[in-house]
Amino acid sequence: SHASWASYLNITNGTLTNTGTITTAASNTGAHIRGNLTSSGTLTFNGNTYFDKAGAAYINSGTLAIAASKTLFVQGASTTLNIQSGSTLNNSGTIQVDTGSTLTLGYAYTNANAINLNAGNLTLSGTLTNTGTLTSSTGAITGTINNTTGTINLTGDTNNASLTLNN
């Protein structure tokens, strides 16, 4: 059995355009999507999934679903995940944005689970309502957060000069 092997989708030139469905298996070993991806279709991540090519742009205008107890990792210098206005984000797990990477939410969003900024950045076009957990260690948050019943952990040298926090 090869159940312990990771999967790799390497986009070596240009941009992969998804108008259908991309699904990752329910696995802890991970699926790596390496390269520019523009999706107006459905991305369903049933296992830990990595957007991990430095400088790559991952753009979602469709549906992005992350399964419970699984993590979408955004990694690599200048790697961006842009969840555009009009799209749907169903985060039942965790989004982790690592060093030098940026998550942009293009609309008002309610975070009921977990967003971790591990020296990564979060840019909000609309208000983020936090009922889950938002953690930032040495990352930067730009935008407005309404913290209703959630938990916000800001640690380290966090640069939040452009953050409005309503608690």
Q: Hey, what are 29's tokens? A: 């070993």
Residue ranges in the chain modelled with pLDDT below 70: 1-4, 28, 157-161
Question: How much is the pLDDT for 1?
Answer: 39
Is the pTM for the entire model greater than 0.85?
A: yes
Residue 142: other Cβ atoms inside 10 A: 17
Question: How much is the pLDDT for 2?
Answer: 46
Cα 57 off chain centre by: 12
- Backbone angles phi and psi of 123, in degrees to 5: -115, 125
- Could you tell me how many residues make up the chain? 167
